[in-house]
Amino acid sequence: MRTLAKRHYWLSLSIAALLLLSGACSRELPSQYFRMLAFGTIMELEVIGVDPQTAQKAHQALQHDFDLMHKAWHAWEPGPVGRINQYIREGKPLAAPPSVLPLLRLSRDLAEKSDHLFDPGIGKLIALWGFQSSELKPHAPPEKEAIEAILEQHPSIQDVHLDGMHITCDNPAVQLDFGAVGKGYGVDRAIERLKEMGIGNAIVNAGGDLRAIGSRAGNPWRIAIRDPDGGGIFALLSVTGDESVFTSGNYERNFSWGGKLYHHIIDPRTGYPAKDSASVTVIHSDAATADAAATALFVAGPKDWHRIAKQMGIKYVLLIDTEGRAYMNPAMRERLKLQKTPREIIISDPL
């Protein structure tokens, strides 16, 4: 995970605005709102109908947990994942740090279901492109030969073997980078913590990617989905109960060089930024799966998203391609209130 990134500030602001808007209609229960910094983004917590002391406690607990998670899962700073990467590079076995083991297990499973379009073992490629850097400056893209040299070694999280607490890896080209799933996994842990504290109505928003539980004083949580072209609102969405909404977009983190835009979602098959998709939004119960799936379906693109979504058990998808076409499954179409008329809407078979 990175330390600093250009994030969905716009989107989170718009979400805050929308939440405030719906708050105006629900006077009965107070809403409390907190901001924290983690995973290179601003994390927002909103709780409803909770006394101020409990809300403060929840805020402190989450900030503390996020700090720990950020440190544990950062691929490029000293810490447990950094240590695993060092041992993998040196071809040595190690005892799995408990703070990483569940994320590693889940990631292996999600990678397999995604046909490895989501694969946290490709950290070397991410680093080669410079996307691990906390300050992303325009620079020449890597040489074709350098990309091919990594691809020839086929790094994949599948090469990381777990035997109880023991980690071995038979491919020194593997470098773990949980950037596409860690934030979602962290949001899940935060929601779990809130539930343990007896908080039933809350939203944890990680720069536009979020999980919401309960309701907003009986009203659904209202979410804005950003238009990847121009940054307005593409659609609105209502969420109640317990759902996560995650988006991967080419506008998140990128640089321009020689008139071309290079973004941070890398196709593990080619070693280059994934083509054809501009953004993918996924709704799912848990945030870790939604996060990994948004990345995987972005890489899958207009041709393959439906097949991969099925394999990953995803029921709601919106994919906007680089030419402004919107692909979605019928159930997603029913939930979206479009704010923009896309160039074309393509409704798939049900998921």
Which residues are at the interface with ligand ADP (CB under 6 A)? Answer: 118-120, 122, 126, 131, 177, 179-180, 183, 209, 248, 252-253, 264-266, 268, 291, 294-295, 299
DSSP state of 220: P
> Does 252 interact with Mg ion (rule: CB under 5 A)?
no
Would you say 81 or 180 has its CB closer to ligand ADP? 180
Q: Which residues pair with 167 in a beta bridge?
A: 94, 162
> Does 293 interact with Mg ion (rule: CB under 5 A)?
no
Q: What are phi and psi of 331, to 5 degrees?
A: -65, -35
**CB 227, CB 215: distance < 8 Å:** no
Shortest Cβ distance from residue 265 to Mg ion (Å)?
8
Shortest Cβ distance from residue 36 to Mg ion (Å)?
20
The stretch among 74-82, 132-140, 172-180, 333-341 that binds Mg ion (CB under 5 A) is 172-180
**CB 71, CB 33: distance < 8 Å:** no
In this chain, which of 291, 309, 319, 327 binds Mg ion, going by CB under 5 A? Answer: 291
> Does 295 interact with Mg ion (rule: CB under 5 A)?
yes
Would you say 209 or 276 has its CB closer to Mg ion? 209
Q: Residue type for 144, please?
A: K
Unique residue bearing structure tokens 């490029």: 76
Rounded distance between C-alpha atoms, residue 255 and residue 129, angstroms: 10
Count other Cβ atoms within 10 Å, centred on residue 195: 14
Token couple for 185: 């996994």
Rounded to a whole number of angstroms, the CA Rg of the chain reads: 20
Shortest Cβ distance from residue 132 to ligand ADP (Å)?
7
Would you say 38 or 58 has its CB closer to ligand ADP? 38
Q: Which residues pair with 339 in a beta bridge?
A: none
Shortest Cβ distance from residue 268 to Mg ion (Å)?
14
Token couple for 257: 């060089």
> Does 180 interact with Mg ion (rule: CB under 5 A)?
yes
Would you say 55 or 290 has its CB closer to Mg ion? 290
The stretch among 18-26, 34-42, 295-303, 312-320 that binds Mg ion (CB under 5 A) is 295-303
Would you say 47 or 318 has its CB closer to Mg ion? 318
Residue closest to 66 by CA, chosen among 216, 162, 212, 187 = 187
> Does 267 interact with Mg ion (rule: CB under 5 A)?
no
**CB 343, CB 323: distance < 8 Å:** yes
Residue closest to 292 by CA, chosen among 130, 132, 106 = 106
Find the residue with minimal CB distance to ligand ADP: 179
> Does 41 interact with Mg ion (rule: CB under 5 A)?
no
Q: Which one of Mg ion, ligand ADP, none interacts with residue 309, CB within 5 to 8 A by kind?
A: none
Would you say 47 or 292 has its CB closer to ligand ADP? 292
Would you say 49 or 316 has its CB closer to ligand ADP? 316
Helices (H) and strands (E) in the chain, counts: 9, 17
Token couple for 205: 């928003």
* Residues within the interface to Mg ion (CB under 5 A): 180, 291, 294-295
